[in-house]
Amino acid sequence: MEAERERRLRAARRLVIKLGTNTVTEPEGDFCAERVEPLVRSIAGLWRAGRQVVLVSSGAVGLGRGWLGLHRSRLGDLVTKQACAAVGQSLLMDAYKRLFSAWEIKVAQVLLTEEDFTAWRRFSNLRHTIEKLLQFGVIPIINENDTVSTAELATVETGPRAVPFSDNDRLAALVMSGLEADALVLLTNVNGFIRTGPPGAATSANGAAEEIVPLIHEITPELRALAAGPSASGRGGMSTKLEAAEIAMSCGGTAVIANGQVPGILERIFAGERVGTAFLASKRMRGKRRWIAFAADVQGRIVVDPGAQRALAQGKASLLASGVVRIEGHFSAKDVVSIVDREGREFARGIADCASHEAEERLGKKGATAGKARGAAAARILVRRDNIVLLQK
């Protein structure tokens, strides 16, 4: 499969590249031109070679903190983080504008919130805007709008599908999904996905033997267990990078985790060299189904009985009122809902065919009508088959 990795990365034309906080900023919050300038030069080379590049960049909070002269301990409250983001975002864009101008490349700022990925129409509009920027030969530079959005700045439960944004890693993957890009590159301060290696392998700073996993085809529970937590200055960690890679794989693309401080790393990646960790997909999920599974914000839960779960798992049935145990939370028609078993384990998601209060009414009617009009209430659809996505266990 190494040959397939090389083929895909050499052929990739539309790229999403994410730079992490540890790459963009110094520990005290200054912009690290020494690390970023070579990466900008590499991106300019990819752009001049005819590839389309979208850049997702962290660092606004750190830059704002440094400019305001605040110690990292002052970032304990959400409002302070938002204020730092407001200050730092302009500093971040000014730095990128200056660096890309040296290569006669124009850049555009795109600030996003979780709502841009929650509503299907806004998700589509976002794609059209970025497509137009790429047609104009502009490199979009994307970050979450931390000044008004709290989803990324707040302390959240990490893990698959916890929140729309838990880190810019996930944001980058959602952008890749919306643009149907060919490759996602997550540049960080480690050499790839690391697991404990055999004696004699390269060692980490604490002396533990480490081994870079060069190629991954599936995100397994074992890999998730190996993922580290958030870094000191960034908000993500390897767990969010695995989640981002899973999204990239779901749209048939290739993801790479690599060290942004290695000279020429982007040229080496897209030359097909064996650097970092590559994630290769074997199948592809259609665009709207990807949105349901990964990008949409869940508004409520539908608890189903074992019979309905089996019918849905076979992929041939809509969710009918007859198979529903109860409705939890409030949602409107066309909202994305979580479908769970009696123990509360989520196994599917779907677009609701009706609002939660209407669903409750249908559940109330199903028992009363069973005797004289068997099947009439059961035929009431809560989620249609074409709008249901089964989630990996």
Domain coordinates in residue numbering, the chain: 2-290, 298-390
The pLDDT value given to residue 162: 43
SS3 376: coil
Q: Tokens 């599908």 belong to which residue?
A: 161
Percent of the chain with pLDDT over 70: 84
Q: Please say if the pLDDT value at position 198 is more than 90.
A: no
Q: What is the pLDDT of residues 90-101, one digit of tens each?
A: 999 999 999 999
Structure confidence at residue 291 (pLDDT): 83
Tell me the one-letter amino acid at 333: A
Architecture in CATH of 2-290: 3-Layer(aba) Sandwich (3.40)
The more confident residue out of 315 and 223 is 223
What is the mean pLDDT of the segment spanning 251-274? Answer: 94
pLDDT at 59 over 50: yes
| Three-state DSSP class for residue 343 | coil
For residues 2 and 9, is the Cβ–Cβ distance under 8 A? no
Tokens coding 100: 């890309």
Tell me the pLDDT tens digit for each residue of 116-174.
887 778 888 999 999 999 999 999 999 988 777 655 544 433 333 444 455 689 999 99
Chain mean pLDDT for the chain: 85
- Comparing 278 with 368, the larger pLDDT belongs to 278
Q: How far apart are CA 147 and CA 84, in angstroms?
A: 8
Give the bridge partners for 17, in sequence order: 55, 185
Which residues, at least 6 apart from 42, have a Cβ–Cβ distance to it below 8 Å? 264, 265, 266, 267
What three-state secondary structure class fits 342?
coil
What string of DSSP letters covers 26-90? -TTS-B-HHHHHHHHHHHHHHHHTT-EEEEEE--HHHHHHHHHT--GGGGGSHHHHHHHHHHHHH
Closest among 348, 225, 367 to 296, alpha carbons compared: 348
The answer to whether 277 touches 217, Cβ cutoff 8 Å, is no
Residues 380-388 have a mean pLDDT of 91
d(CA 152, CA 238): 16
Q: Domain 298-390 class?
A: mainly beta
Task: Name the least confident of 16-20, 115-119, 249-253.
Answer: 115-119
b/e per residue, 44-74, with b = 16+ CB within 10 A? bebbeeebbbbbbbbbbbbbbbbbeeeeeee
Paired sense of beta strands 14-19 and 183-188, if any? parallel
Q: In this model, does residue 364 exceed pLDDT 60?
A: yes
Beta strands per DSSP E along the chain: 14-19, 52-57, 107-112, 139-144, 183-188, 194-196, 210-212, 215-216, 254-259, 277-280, 298-304, 319-320, 324-329, 336-340, 346-352, 381-390
pTM of the model: 0.81
